[in-house]
Chain A
Amino acid sequence: MNYLIKVLTVGVVSLLLTACNMTKVTRMGADESIDLSGAWNDTDSQLVAREMITDALSRPWLTNFSAHRSKTPAVIVGSVRNLSHEHINVRTFVAELERELVNSGRVEFVASSNDRNEIRDERKDQDLHASEDTRNAAGQERGADFMLQGQINTIIDINDNKQVRYYQVDLTLVSMADNRKVWLGQKKIKKLVENSKFRY
């Protein structure tokens, strides 16, 4: 009889437990690093952008350009293609790159083609509606000297419940004047992801 009660109890308890679902929210700092699934995350995006831009700004192309042209170079971020196994939000990565470039103070940064259209519309609007002393004239835009392009690639090796995720981010800085590649940056990230075989 005791055995019977135990069997029934286990059955019902397991039924009830499988139906349990609780949501818990904990606030945390935006720069805290947490890896949940092993996929590309905000920390990867921030780290890669920071390290690659730091590397780019420490290379000779910057001093060479300033020495020859006597001005700080203007850079524009072109396309960064996601060729990886994951749906990476490339826009946040590009935004990180832009932020690092602008905040370095060592290069000037021009708006991307999408942003430019909005600004041009506003300028046209100013022509009609703004007072003469506050109006900004057309044809005064700063042209970019270099374009930053890149791609994110991955190689995934999988065995049973283990995965090795290898990310390679390649960025290239191309001179707008003559298509020369003045800087090639590469950042690699490798992660071992182990998924539990069991759960409660």
Chain B
Amino acid sequence: MRIIRYNYPFILGVLLFALLQGCSITSMRVNSLASQLESDPPEQVLSKLEKIAFPERDRVQFLLNYGILKSLSGDFEASIKDLQTAKKVIQQVEAISISENIGAVTVNDTLKSYVATPGEQMLIHQILVTNYLLTGQLNEARVEVLQAQVKAKKFAETSEMIGRLASMEYLAGLVYELLNEVDSAMISYRNAARFMKKREMDIPSVLQNSLLRCSYSLGLKNEYKKYVKLYGKKAERVDTKKGELTVIFWDGIVSAKKQNFITVYVPKLEHNVTLALPYYSDQTKPINPLTFTTGDKVYNTVPIENVEKIVREDLEAQQKVIYSTALARMITKHLAIKMSQGKNTEGLSILLNIASVLTEAADVRSWNMLPSSIQVARVRLAPGRYQLFPSKVKGKIAAEKNNLWDKLFSITRLKDKAEEPSLSTSIVKGKKLDEFMLDIKAGQKVLLFIPGVTNRVYSHYM
């Protein structure tokens, strides 16, 4: 009888331990893959990520990473599919799960379904906008802009700044301008400037120009004068003989969450007290601009979003819930150990003490393949052919990755294109920076998407 009494909790403990080790190993593997993005091609990282089995509660995290990796690889249609699915799943798991919360209070926070943070949810819309623009689906990009606005309204119920992204507003302004909805663009640019000011970021020249241009074109005289005084320049004259180049540059990879793990033996309680909490390193990644040239002039992209700051803000906003759950968990584990400290249960008590330490784990899941900063540039160029990134300019960002995988990938993509010409619009083969040539015509608008970690340029001529 005594053996049975000992075996039952022992089996449960072993089962829990095995399951939870699986959770933390998955998180570690995903974090490791995210850091590999700095050196390996996104296709390689994606194929590794796809091989990792994950529990249903981590589905959102995996879909988000699949989506962003497909964007980095130029498979924008597949990225759209994954990110749209992620949005649907988020909607389902946003409701508070009773069973998952019991799991979080008794075992650890990783038993909760992963719901993207407000900042991440806005970045889903933002990446979708970019994907739609790059595939020429302007109206669908507008839908994402509207959805982001609804989401922002929802987040505003709890906090003014949580989930409010200047980069999203800037892209919204861009979409509205492309659709000749200058009044809506003006509102978005104003919001972008407001959010940047709140986050103590300098208003970049690209946003200053947008505010000047839109306020001037809408005849908002007082507002225009205010901007002229503030930025010390006037709105640029729209020259129809020139084309317009917009560059969206993703710099680096955002920091991953880490775990603070403390376990202390408390003599008064006669067992260990263990606490594991997630945190981001105080040191944020530096912002590196992308430099490009048109021969006579040199331009730099400017940061419109510091994603490093956004992820830290989101974690800060979650702290209350994380701390209260951790406290409740400590009490539950303490009560469980106390109950086992009766007669003839010394072995069980030790086992539970060990289990309470081993099962404690911080939830370090995040959308860890995001860029560390989002940067833009918008310049007017005379019609012609430009090599924007000659070799010496290219050196400004991550070193080129000219490995075997890249070569193999190029061959595969070319083969795909030859066999299925209909796919050519969905899978865009990126050009290496120094091989990319821009051909711009008068009045033409060109969008370049440059994920720094890939060293590739994806272009769309509008």
Chain A residues with a Cβ under 8 A of chain B: 1, 3-5, 7-15, 17-19, 21, 37, 81-87, 154, 156, 158-160, 195-200
Q: What residues on B are CB-neighbors of A4 within 8 Å? A: 9, 336, 339-340, 352
Residues of B within 8 A of A17 (CB): 99
How far is it, in angstroms, between the C-alpha of A31 and the C-alpha of B146 when the chains are bound? Answer: 30
Task: Pick the 10 closest A-B CB pairs, nearest first.
Answer: A11-B106, A14-B99, A4-B339, A14-B103, A85-B146, A199-B95, A14-B102, A8-B12, A17-B99, A156-B150
Task: Determine if B335 and A5 form an interchain contact, defined as CB atoms under 8 angstroms apart.
Answer: no
Interface stretch, picked from B135-143, B249-257, B450-458, is B135-143
Residue in B5, B55, B95, B336 whose beta carbon sits within 8 Å of that of A198 in the complex = B95
Contact A14 B100 (CB under 8 A): yes
Contact with A along B392-425 (1 / 0, CB 8 A): 0000000000000000000000000000000000
Most buried by B among A5, A7, A81, A158: A7
A19 to B12, CA, bound (A): 16
Say which residue of A3, A7, A200 sits within 8 Å of B99 (CB atoms). A200
CB neighbours of A15 from chain B (8 A): 16, 19, 103, 107, 111
Is B342 in the interface zone, CB < 8 Å from A? yes
B35 within 8 A of partner (CB): no
> If the complex has contacts A12-B12, A18-B57, are A81 and B139 also in contact, measured as CB distance less than 8 A?
yes
Chain B residues near A160 (CB-CB < 8 A): 157
Chain B interface residues toward A at CB < 8 A: 5, 8-9, 12-13, 15-16, 19, 55-57, 84, 88, 91-100, 102-103, 106-107, 111, 113, 139-140, 142-143, 146-147, 150, 153-154, 157, 332, 335-336, 339-340, 342, 345, 352
In the complex, what residues of A have CB within 8 A of residue B142's CB?
Answer: 83
Of chain A, the residue at the smallest CB distance from B150 is A156
Is B16 in contact with A86, judged by CB distance below 8 angstroms? Answer: no
Question: Which residue on A lies nearest to B147, using beta carbons?
Answer: A85
Distance in Å from the Cβ of B160 to the closest Cβ of chain A? Answer: 16
A4-B336, A11-B106, A12-B15 given; A37·B91 CB < 8 A? yes
With A3-B335, A81-B139 already in contact, 12 other A-B pairs whose C-beta atoms are closer than 8 Å: A7-B336, A8-B13, A11-B106, A14-B102, A18-B113, A19-B56, A82-B143, A86-B143, A87-B143, A195-B94, A198-B98, A200-B98
Residue of A nearest to B56 (CB): A21
Which residues on A sit within 8 Å (CB–CB) of B107?
11, 15
